[in-house]
Structures are given as structure tokens and as C-alpha cells.
Amino acid sequence: MQRYAAAVFFGGPSPEHEVSVITGLQAVAALRERNKAVLPVYVSKGGRWFTGQGLDDIARYKRPSDLEQTATEMALAPGPGRSLRLVPLKQPFFGRAEGLLVDAVLLAFHGGSGENGGVQGLCESLGVPYSGAGVMASAVGMDKVRAKVLCKAAGIPVVPWMEISEGIWAGKEEHHLDAIIDGIGFPAIVKPVHLGSSIGIARVEDREALEGAIEEAFRYDAAVLVEQCVPNLREINCSVLGTIGNARVSVLEEPVSGDGTLSFEDKYLRGAPGKTGRSKAPSAAGMASLDRRIPAPVSDEMTQDIREMALQVFDALDGSGVARIDFLMDDASGSVFFNEINTIPGSLSFYLWEPTGMPFGELVELLLDLAVERFETRSRRVRSFQTNLLDVRASGGLKGKLG
């Protein structure tokens, strides 16, 4: 059976599908450059899994239906040892296609079940090492409220917010509007709790606009948060790489946009491709094409403070692999607030690591090494637990304790 050191998973049912294709192909190219046997695995918008010829060519993703015709649809199964097996769904008439084996998975999804813990759980069930955050941390990372709650509990500053779910909103709109205006005031920012890419986000200045924005956000999500608007806003992001207690921080970036709020277009559709430094990644540059200042022009002291906060957030949210942590700064007061964590950041934040001397290929390889390391640590722990349990059972202790 053909065996690959790594598979890169990308695409998937998510508004950020195309961005994920870019991140995925960037990672595939970087691993190829380092002579790794790497298998690109594309998940369609409909949630079907594909491998095969043509998946490396970004031009082919303009017509996904053609791609799905020529690529091979696969099913996933546990392989021998710590490996994953991909088996073609359509078996040949004679004989049997054995499929492919993969030793570790690099997750390059953005949004949807590829980033929210769903696919992470699938990899755990299948028994294959996967890059990035675990199930819980991935789910928290996609939930703007739960991430804030955990950070707040860890003493990290967050912007005051209120959360409303669709169930409690309906029929009591006026009551909730009163409470929000009382607790948050204007201007306020309204966001769906689980989405990214600025989808459904609005800045509002009065009651009518607030109501409209909440209704609009409910079109995307069953839960909405309203938070105080940070005045004199500057956005500062920082990447963290490693595991809790053994993580490093990148340089800071300040993304720049025309009107002060980064829109979906600002993030993904604007900007010239090819600002990818030394990497020979596909020319569409994804998050790397956003206009940004690197390093962010803030004082050395502020830089240190934000880097320190980024590490605290990574620990508080049980980060693993590479994450990008986004902060909101009030430029007049110098106050900095945690805004959100991206557990699979656009382009894996490689453009924040290149200036520290780490090329993209090294970053991706490190993510795979970390994935395997975490998998092995965990499987060791589970095995020793089982041994203890059986020992207790053998001596009749468990029965005794239960009875």
C-alpha cells in the first residue's frame, strides 16, 4: 500500500473554503520542497473527501465540479499502527483497491467542522496524529464568547460583552434591547458567536440599528454577542507556536484596512498576490495578501506586553501547534484586549514566522512533529490507565469498590 508521511486536509463546508484551499496548497508545496511524501486531500463544499491527480493545481479549483469528476472520492478508516487509511469509495470491478496510508495529518481548514473540533474529533477516533489544537480548544476557538470567558477567568483583559441566543430573543426584543443599551451602550459591535471573516458583523450607533444588526446576525448563527466598541482602534495580532509551557511567540502584525473594520473583502479578496517572501507557495496569497505592517509599529514595551499576553491566551485556551491571537488596542489609552484566537490561522501565519528566521517549510514540518509528539504522549497515558484498571479488576478490587 502506498504510504505518505503526511496528508494535508483542506477545503470543507465553510464560508472560508477558498481560503483553506490556498492555505492547503501552500502547505503541500512547502512540504514537497522539503522532499516529504505528502498527499493533498480536498474536502468539497458538500463534505466529500477527494485525492488524486490535479489537486495540486490551484487553477482547477475555479471549477470544483470538474475537479470532483476527475479526482478520486475516498472514505477514511483507521490504518495499522498510528496511521490513517484512505480507501476509494468506488472499488474496481475485479480485485480490490487497498487505498493509501498516511502517518500524520496537517489540518489546513478555516471555519466549519475542520476548525471547530469536528474533524479533530474524527482524527482522534481514527487514531491518526493531527496538527493544531485538540477538540476542546478548537471548539472554544470558534466560539467568541467561550474564548472570552476563559480568558477573563485567567485575568486577561477582554472588551465587555453581552450574549443573546435566538431562543431568548424572540418575543422579548424590547426587553433585551433595553438591557443591552444599559449594559453596553453605543457605539456597539454586533457579531455572530461562531463565525469568522467579519461575516454578519456590524457597528451600530442607535437602538434601531442595534435591533437590525442582531436580527441580521441571527441569520448566520443561533447566538449573537454585542460588545463595546473599542475607540481609536488598532488591531494587533501575534502568532504562538508550540505547546503549553513550551511555546514561542512571533513578531506582531498590524493589519490595515480603509474604513477601520476588516471586511471579508479586506481579508481575502483584496491585495496583490505574491507577498509571500521566500516561500514558493501558490501565487494566491490568502491571508498573506492583506495589507499589514510587520512588525507592528508599536513601542518595544507594548510589543513585549502583547507577546506576553499572547502566551497567556495560548495557555488559557489550551493552544497547540500554531495559533494567531488577535488583540484590539485603544491607541489613545494604550489598553489592549484579547479579541479572538484562530486555532488554524490563515496561511498558518507563516508570514509572522519568516521574519523570525523560520521558513514556511520548517513551520509546517514542526507542526507535523508536534502532532506526532502529542499523539504519542497521549497514547502512552491511555495505555497505562488501562493496565491499572485491569489490575484492579483482576484482584476483585473494582467490584469491591463499586459494591
Ligand X SMILES: Nc1ncnc2c1ncn2[C@@H]1O[C@H](COP(=O)(O)OP(=O)(O)O)[C@@H](O)[C@H]1O
Which residues, 6+ apart, have CB-to-CB distance to 143 below 8 Å? 193, 194
Determine, following the binding rule CB under 6 A, whether residue 229 of this chain makes contact with ligand X: yes
Determine, following the binding rule CB under 6 A, whether residue 191 of this chain makes contact with ligand X: yes
Smaller CB separation from ligand X, 338 or 351:
338
Least distance from C-beta 200 to ligand X, angstroms? 8
Least distance from C-beta 184 to ligand X, angstroms? 10
Residue of the chain from 86, 102, 119, 262 that contacts ligand X (CB under 6 A): 262
Q: How many residues bind ligand X (CB under 6 A)?
A: 18
Residue of the chain from 328, 336, 341, 368 that contacts ligand X (CB under 6 A): 328
Place of cell 456590524: 202
The answer to whether the CB of 24 falls within 8 A of the CB of 9 is: yes
Determine, following the binding rule CB under 6 A, whether residue 286 of this chain makes contact with ligand X: no
247: β partners: 242
Residue 128 cell numbers, joined: 491518526
CA dist., res. 238 & res. 312, Å (int): 12
Determine, following the binding rule CB under 6 A, whether residue 243 of this chain makes contact with ligand X: no
The answer to whether the CB of 2 falls within 8 A of the CB of 100 is: yes
CA dist., res. 361 & res. 352, Å (int): 14
Place of cell 483482576: 394
Which residues, 6+ apart, have CB-to-CB distance to 195 below 8 Å? 15, 111, 220, 221
Determine, following the binding rule CB under 6 A, whether residue 196 of this chain makes contact with ligand X: yes
Least distance from C-beta 126 to ligand X, angstroms? 29
Which residues, 6+ apart, have CB-to-CB distance to 166 below 8 Å? 218, 222, 223, 224
Determine, following the binding rule CB under 6 A, whether residue 313 of this chain makes contact with ligand X: no
Smaller CB separation from ligand X, 198 or 312:
198
Residue of the chain from 103, 143, 221, 227 that contacts ligand X (CB under 6 A): 227
Least distance from C-beta 369 to ligand X, angstroms? 29
Determine, following the binding rule CB under 6 A, whether residue 235 of this chain makes contact with ligand X: yes
Residue of the chain from 159, 164, 213, 296 that contacts ligand X (CB under 6 A): 159
Determine, following the binding rule CB under 6 A, whether residue 261 of this chain makes contact with ligand X: yes
Least distance from C-beta 162 to ligand X, angstroms? 12
Region binding ligand X by CB under 6 A among candidate stretches 194-202, 204-212, 270-278, 371-379: 194-202
Least distance from C-beta 235 to ligand X, angstroms? 5
Determine, following the binding rule CB under 6 A, whether residue 266 of this chain makes contact with ligand X: no
Residue of the chain from 25, 28, 201, 214 that contacts ligand X (CB under 6 A): 201
Residue of the chain from 233, 269, 389, 390 that contacts ligand X (CB under 6 A): 233
- Indicate the helix (H) or strand (E) that contains 377: helix 360-394
The three-state (H, E, C) secondary structure of 148-208, written as one string: HHHHHHCCCCECCEEEEEHHHHCCCHHHHHHHHHHHCCCCEEEEECCCCCCCCCEEECCHH
Closest CA to 300 of 366, 242, 252, 333: 252
CA dist., res. 126 & res. 166, Å (int): 35
Smaller CB separation from ligand X, 76 or 159:
159
Region binding ligand X by CB under 6 A among candidate stretches 15-23, 188-196, 313-321, 362-370: 188-196
Least distance from C-beta 387 to ligand X, angstroms? 44
- Go through 286-298 and write b for each residue having 16 or more CB atoms within 10 A of its CB, e for each that does not: bbbbbebebebeb
The string of DSSP codes covering 286-336 is GGGGS-EESS-S--HHHHHHHHHHHHHHHHHTT-EEEEEEEEEEETTT--E
Residue of the chain from 28, 55, 189, 309 that contacts ligand X (CB under 6 A): 189
Determine, following the binding rule CB under 6 A, whether residue 20 of this chain makes contact with ligand X: no
Residue of the chain from 197, 279, 343, 347 that contacts ligand X (CB under 6 A): 197
Residue 179 cell numbers, joined: 438591557
Least distance from C-beta 264 to ligand X, angstroms? 8
- Indicate the helix (H) or strand (E) that contains 369: helix 360-394
Least distance from C-beta 205 to ligand X, angstroms? 13
Residue of the chain from 36, 179, 198, 392 that contacts ligand X (CB under 6 A): 198
Determine, following the binding rule CB under 6 A, whether residue 115 of this chain makes contact with ligand X: no
Least distance from C-beta 252 to ligand X, angstroms? 15
Instruction: List residues near ligand X by CB under 6 A.
Output: 159, 189, 191, 196-198, 201, 227, 229-230, 233, 235, 261-262, 326, 328, 339-340
